[in-house]
Structure 1
Amino acid sequence: MTDTLPDTMRASVMTGVETLRIEDRPVPTPGPREVLVEVAAVGVCGSDVHYYRHGRIGDFVVDDPMILGHELSGRIAAVGDGVDPGRIGQRVAVEPQHPCRRCTQCTAGRYNLCPEMKFYATPPIDGAFCRFVTIDDDMAHPVPDSMSDEAAALLEPLSVAITTMRKAGVAPGTSVLIAGAGPIGVICAQAARAFGAARIVVSDPVASRREGALRFGATEVLDPMTDDVSAIDPVDAFIDASGVPVAVVAGIKAVGPAGHVVLVGMGADEYPLPVSHIQNLEITVTGVFRYTDTWPAAIHLVASGAVDLDAMVTGRYDLEHAADALESDTDPDSLKSIVRPN
């Protein structure tokens, strides 16, 4: 906890494609039902990297300077009106979204689909590569002292994996195929194991990543460059964490009757699908866009030891080297890089 709050803070600001600079920004003031969080750790996500390299993701375009980073943890440094002052000093993991709470999607419980959503590091909303952020008080989730700051930050991608498991119908005894052994693929493998999947097949063309997948819960691995992924014994669910069209098609063909397909990876906007296979086997195909009500489950999975997020951290960087953190994905052995703003 910060005893005396400063007026300004350092922030790593994206000012153009592949361009970051350190700026002094005003420390934000928490509004009603908000808390001010002093950031401890920020995980680097593929979306951060995509904005950094390309300046956009689909219709989301970085037109003005923006702070990246949305996987974060920290400590509450101040509270706004209507928030218990006793929360000051509390360690929290931040759910980085601010829905309107009034629209049809919000009232139906799908606040992740709120058309008025303000999501960290999604243009034009600033993220967490800085010392302080504000968030709605109920989006600052208390974490146990046994959980590291880094693991608490990575509850965000674990939330993506939990949503994926729910949509894929993963339950004890089921079988799952995951395309891609990058950060999301590996965290999905861990989540599938925690949800009770008996068979977890992970496909990736990089040998070191396949080996990593085995350490994190995969029961078998495939090299899609030499193995016919579509010819494996049918699985109950296919999860794409690669964004590669050919991998998606092969994965769908590996799904058995009444199975589920969940698209998580960011890939091409459009590509052909094996429609007859989907239709004849009544396969459900859906996507994942963020999450709703996942932090309690994520905290439990980590606190209980069912998921190991600390072991996924392969790089640590200070704010001045945030660009190096964003470039770390070029190393095939890199899983999760952490930026520490303080």
Structure 2
Amino acid sequence: MTDNNLTLVLHGKMDLRLEEKPVLEPGNGEVQLSMRQVGICGSDVNIWVHGEHGGYIVDSPLALGHEGSAVIRKLGPGVTTLKVGDRVAVEPATPCRMCAFCKGGRYNLCPHVKGLAMPGCDGHLTRTFVMAADFCHKVPDNVSDGEAAMAEPMAVSVQATNRGGVKMGDTILICGAGPIGLLCMLTSKARGVHAVCITDIDERRLAFARELGADHTINVRGKSPQDVAAEVEELLGDKPNVTLECSGAQPSITTAVYATRSGGVVVLVGMGATTNEIPTAEASFRELDIRGTFRYVNCFQPALKLMSSGLVNVKPLMTHEFRLEDALQAFETARKGEGIKILINCHKETQGR
């Protein structure tokens, strides 16, 4: 094992640096991790380019990365559920465990949560990391390190479909064919939905969605929300029961409201501007439920089981892999919109997804 703790640190807009950081020892209830694969999220790219994301502003050096797989390197006092050598997917947040939200089973809403790669809490893009043991989830033997890193965005899709009440026989509209939209589509398919229509402005992503199993796709570039809603209804034979809005774009949010069946559910999954307009009269008169979704709660184990069972195959989404030493190139590739999910290999002794 090496104590070379190379870390990718953001110092400001478009200012990412590879630095040597100290190796921390695990405290009570913690484990020391040897990081393996870490995925680049759209929020990582936004934070790099703009210095903020969703109202979070980076005002001091911050290590990025929150989609990680790892191997247990050392146990802290009191850890009995894991052992050295275990492969884990890392849930990148630590709630207080004491507030009403935590005790009520909605720890994702904990006001005291420490979210990785958010101001004040470094992320996964490093050789060695210390994490609370109870947020490290054992990975099945038939799930690779790269797939284990995909457990985090998969958990987002599990939470989103949970919030939408997606069930067997539903028809679903998904707005946005990025990684989260595609995973929401695959998760909805695993739940036994009747049909999925997915929208985007990028024809390449729509073609990829069709390869993954989308029943219908619509390129919405230049189209009004009302026209897109009419096209969705024509393709599906009816308005969808549930719409998962995964782009965060204003026109897409409006489309979601117009397109969804009366009495249906719109889930706001994507994060764009901090304020958007919603056609409230349309939503009110047709009794639409508009629901937010934030991260995930008890979704990592279902996500890993979906991958392990073969019900969801995330391998086609894992299009690029870079070494940690080449992280700047990885981020530039993500910024250009090349590929789907870009992984960074943080462990120099391993290669491959």
* TM-score using structure 1 length: 0.95
Q: Provide the rounded CA distance (Å) in 2 between the counterparts of 1:332 and 1:20.
A: 19
Counterpart for residue 61 of structure 1: 57
Give, in whole Å, the separation in 1 of the partners of 2:147 and 2:157. Answer: 15
Residues 169-188 of structure 1 correspond to what in structure 2 (within 5 A)? 169-188=165-184
Whole-angstrom distance in 2 between the partners of 1:307 and 1:210: 19
RMSD between aligned residues: 1.4
- Residue 24 and residue 331 in structure 1: after superposition, are their counterparts in 2 closer, same or farther (change >3 A)? closer
Please state how far the C-alpha of 1:327 moved relative to its aligned partner: 2.2
Query: Which aligned pairs between 1:115-126 and structure 2 lie closer than 5 A?
Result: 115-126=111-122
Match of residue 239 from structure 1: 244
The structure 2 residue matched to 1:258, chosen from 246, 259, 263, is: 263
Q: Secondary structure at the match of 2:148?
A: helix
1:339 correspondence with 2:347: no
Matched length: 338
Match of 2:314 in 1: 309
Aligned match for 2:106, one of 110, 113, 130: 110
The one-letter code sitting in structure 2 at the alignment partner of 1:291 is: Y
- Structure 1 SS opposite 2:173: strand
1:229 maps onto 2:234 in alignment:
no
Contact 2:6 2:18 (8 Å CA) reproduced: yes
Q: Partner of 1:194 in structure 2?
A: 190
**1:191 Cα deviation after fit:** 0.8
Contact kept? 1:209, 1:332, Cα under 8 Å? no
Corresponding residue for 2:27?
31
Q: Distance in 1 between matches of 2:65 and 2:306?
A: 23
Shifted more, 219-228 versus 312-321: the winner is 219-228
Aligned 1:312-323 pairs, distance under 5 A: 312-323=317-328
Structure 1 residue runs of 4+, over 4 Å off?
A: 330-333
- Structure 1, unaligned runs of 5 or more: none
Cα gap change, 1:86 to 1:206, in 2 (>3 Å):
closer
The SS at the match of 2:71 is strand
1:216 corresponds, among 212, 237, 258, to 212
How far did 1:84 drift? 2.6
Q: Kindly state the Cα deviation for residue 320 of structure 1 after the two structures are TM-superposed.
A: 2.1
- Partner of 1:218, secondary structure, is coil
Percent identity, aligned pairs only? 36
**How far 1:274 moved relative to its partner?**
1.6
Question: Structure 2: which 5+ residue stretches go unaligned?
Answer: 234-238, 348-353
Would the alpha carbon gap of residues 116 and 86 (structure 1) be closer, same or farther in structure 2, given more than 3 Å must change?
A: closer
Residue equivalent to 2:157: 161
Cα gap change, 1:333 to 1:12, in 2 (>3 Å): closer
CA distance in 1, matches of 2:260, 2:82: 51
1:331 Cα deviation after fit: 4.3
Q: Which moved more, 1:309-318 or 1:159-168?
A: 309-318
Specify the SS of the correspondent of 2:331.
Answer: helix
Deviations along 1:251-299, one digit per CA (max 9) or x if unpaired, are 2111112111111112122222121221122111011111100011101
Q: Which amino acid aligns with 1:200?
A: V
**Equivalent-residue separation in structure 2 for 1:167 and 1:218 (angstroms):** 21
Q: Which amino acid aligns with 1:307?
A: V
Q: Equivalent residue for 1:52?
A: 48
Q: Alignment partner of 1:158: what SS?
A: helix
The one-letter code sitting in structure 2 at the alignment partner of 1:63 is D
**1:136 pairs with 2:128:** no
- Give SS of 2:168's match: coil
User: What SS class does the counterpart of residue 36 from structure 1 fall into?
Assistant: strand
Q: 1:211 is paired with a residue of what secondary structure? A: helix
2:350 corresponds in structure 1 to: none
Distance 1:148 1:183, change over 3 A: same
For the residue of structure 2 that corresponds to 1:32, the secondary structure is coil
Shift of 1:230: 1.3
Q: Name 1:281's counterpart in structure 2.
A: 286
1:311 maps to amino acid: P
